[in-house]
Amino acid sequence: MLDREILVVDDEKDLRTMIRSIFESAGYTQITTAASGQEVLAVMAKKTPGIIVLDVIMPDMDGFELLQEIRAVSKVPVLMLTAKGEAEDRFAGFELGADDYLVKPFLPKELLLRVQAILKRAYPEKERVVTLNAAAVDLDRAEVIRDGQRTPLTAKEYSIFEKLAENAGRIVTIGVLCQTLCGEIWQGYETTLMTHIRHLREKIEENPSKPVSLLTVKGLGYKLVVKEPEK
Amino acid sequence: MLDREILVVDDEKDLRTMIRSIFESAGYTQITTAASGQEVLAVMAKKTPGIIVLDVIMPDMDGFELLQEIRAVSKVPVLMLTAKGEAEDRFAGFELGADDYLVKPFLPKELLLRVQAILKRAYPEKERVVTLNAAAVDLDRAEVIRDGQRTPLTAKEYSIFEKLAENAGRIVTIGVLCQTLCGEIWQGYETTLMTHIRHLREKIEENPSKPVSLLTVKGLGYKLVVKEPEK
DNA sequence: CGCAATCTCAAGGTTATCTCAAGGTTGCCT
DNA sequence: AGGCAACCTTGAGATAACCTTGAGATTGCG
């Protein structure tokens, strides 16, 4: 959910940066801003954001017109920002296909909650399941599924696997792996990491001594071979 | 839905009986009428109806004022009846929190449809009951049903359970759970969460020390195992 | 205001998980 | 071939995470 792109549309620079920082501090990374309807359409010609936060008051094209233009080409969810007291805006917006609205001024948290609610509704949870050669791993449940059997992963095993799956196919160095487990100072932890790797292999490999999914790359690190590459 | 109580508010006796009969012939059984704002407030002091059908034109207190009074004490859905041509009433009513409006004169069927639409929206049909291994939890009533016995959940227990049920099967981190209970700053609350978890287990588990539904995933969080997977 | 229910927190106990060491294996390099 | 370095494997002790209980604080209701 955090990796959905958010497009913020407002003509006021201050508001744009404020909204951006609200999302950034909440952990969102993909935030684009646009100052006019023209810009929005230009952005959308290239890529489709996960949600649009749209201020009703715009210089070149009012928010409702823009909403119509957007709807003409995409079903992307839209949250409208309306000025206080413009009661009718709410209905006009909904009628044109806005997903929600928020009256200015608003609390940062309120904006976040609404956006999150919309994203949740619009993009139902995809199961985070990684398929390997002999087993599958359900990251949401921290379980390995092999021969219909479910085996739980421990916290460290989970962290290791998550990091490897994140970089599926690529080599992940021992240093990086150790850091995800015990932070900056990880020298001397390599031996422990090895033990966790072993346990992980016992859960996901047919033969943990002859791994085919969680491979050792001597001198460099480890890498995970996934069957259907993520995404 | 048919068992929701309907409160009809109108100063004209003829209209009251007419509306009442519309609902009665549609199968609704719980219909109360009131002729004035005073009466409405008196009724609401005793019980909360499922929906209020409110005529804008009233003798002692106009419909908008009454709506405000109602909203001050309750979020009960309200359908406003407005006289023909009073276009602005629509918005005035919406702003004060009306859920819909209907212009007089109206067809019986139209009234029925609108009321049904509101009820459907306000009181989602689905029984929110989660079935577990040894017990079932009724989220609407905040009760645990075990061996035919009903045990109420406390506020915190309910919040925890709701969050877990929302992510049934998936792991919910301690941080997320704490946040649902006490907001952003939750460090140091883990110990209290644990106590609530314990109490919850005492209510939903056969043996709270050997949980089978509300499982601990050490180092990651908790997860709820539901019997009939939601959906 | 007083009671009861609920919430919070601390102390001591329990256990799965983590850590680490010791000895074994593999495979590369000269 | 032999040596060495990197990695594997196993087990047992240490530990952090969690459990359990009780008692005091807080809240809400009559």
The CATH number that applies at residue A47 is: 3.40.50.2300
Q: Which of A88, A91, A154 minimises the CB distance to B218?
A: A154
Q: Which domain holds residue A180?
A: 129-224
Q: Which of A183-187, B43-47, B219-223 has the lowest mean pLDDT?
A: B43-47
CB pairs under 8 A between A and B: 28
Task: Please check whether residue A168 is in contact with residue A133, taking contact to mean a CB–CB distance below 8 angstroms.
Answer: no
Domain boundary among B122, B140, B174: B122
Per-residue pLDDT band for B8 (boundaries 50, 70, 90) equals very high
Most confident of A51-55, A69-73, B36-40: A51-55
Is A1 inside any structural domain?
no
CA distance B131 to B84: 50
Asked if residue B150 and residue B96 are part of one domain, the reply reads: no
Is B229 inside any structural domain?
no
- For A151, name the nearest residue in chain B, comparing CA atoms only: B217
Is A182 inside any structural domain?
yes
- State percent of chain A over pLDDT 90: 51
Give the nucleotide at minimum CA-to-C1' distance from B219. D17
Residue-averaged pLDDT of chain B = 84
Section B47-60 average pLDDT: 80
- For B184, name the nearest residue in chain A, comparing CA atoms only: A109
Higher pLDDT, B77 or B100: B77
> What's chain B's length in residues?
231
The residue of A113, A140, A145, A160 whose CB has the most chain B CBs within 10 angstroms, and thus the best one to mutate to test that interface, is A140
Asked if pLDDT for residue B7 goes beyond 70, the answer is: yes
For CA atoms B181, B182, B183, B184, the dihedral sign is negative
Amino acid at A94: F
Question: How far apart are the CA of B168 and the nearest CA of chain A, in angstroms?
Answer: 10
Question: How far apart are the CA of B51 and the nearest CA of chain A, in angstroms?
Answer: 22
Section B93-99 average pLDDT: 69
Question: How far apart are the CA of B211 and the nearest CA of chain A, in angstroms?
Answer: 15
Total count of domains within chain A: 2
Q: Which of A140, A154, A155 minimises the CB distance to B170?
A: A140
Section B188-216 average pLDDT: 95
Residues A186-210: pLDDT tens digits? 888 999 999 999 999 999 999 999 9
Residues A75-89: pLDDT tens digits? 898 988 877 555 455
Residue B188: predicted pLDDT: 92
Which DSSP letter does residue A196 get? H
Is A160 inside any structural domain?
yes
DSSP H or E segment with residue A69: helix A63-73
Per-residue pLDDT band for A230 (boundaries 50, 70, 90) equals very low
Going along A133-213, which residue ranges are E strands? 136-138, 143-146, 149-152, 171-173
Domain boundary among A122, A141, A176: A122
Chain C: bases < 7 Å from a protein Cβ = 5-11, 16-22, 28
- Nearest CA to A85 out of A119, A56, A58 is that of A56
- For B97, name the nearest residue in chain A, comparing CA atoms only: A87
DSSP H or E segment with residue B116: helix B108-122
Q: Which of A5-19, A148-162, B81-95 has the lowest mean pLDDT?
A: B81-95
Asked if residue A171 and residue A140 are part of one domain, the reply reads: yes
Section B32-54 average pLDDT: 84
Give residues with Cβ within 8 angstroms of B137, minimum separation 6: B129, B130, B143, B144, B145, B153, B161, B165, B204
Is B61 inside any structural domain?
yes
Amino acid at B74: S
Asked if residue B182 and residue B152 are part of one domain, the reply reads: yes
Tokens of A8: 């913020």
Per-residue pLDDT band for B1 (boundaries 50, 70, 90) equals low
Residues A96-152: pLDDT tens digits? 677 777 777 788 877 888 888 788 878 877 788 999 999 999 999 999 999 999 999
The DSSP line for B8-69 is EE-S-HHHHHHHHHHHHHTT---EEEESSHHHHHHHHHH---SEEEEES--SSS-HHHHHHH
- State percent of chain A over pLDDT 70: 90
Domain boundary among A122, A143, A170: A122
Å between CA of A218 and C1' of D9: 17
Per-residue pLDDT band for A181 (boundaries 50, 70, 90) equals very high
The CATH number that applies at residue A175 is: 1.10.10.10
Amino acid at A230: E
Asked if residue B193 and residue B96 are part of one domain, the reply reads: no
Using the structure block, give the residue that is written with the tokens 């506020």: B155
Section B155-173 average pLDDT: 95
Residue A94: predicted pLDDT: 57
Is B1 inside any structural domain?
no
- Nearest CA to B93 out of B114, B112, B79, B83 is that of B79
0.75 exceeded by pTM: no
Task: Please check whether residue B164 is in contact with residue B174, taking contact to mean a CB–CB distance below 8 angstroms.
Answer: no
Asked if residue A114 and residue A26 are part of one domain, the reply reads: yes
Q: How far apart are the first and last CA of chain B?
A: 21
Strand C contacts in A 157-196 (CB under 7 A): 157, 181-182, 188-189, 191-192, 194-196
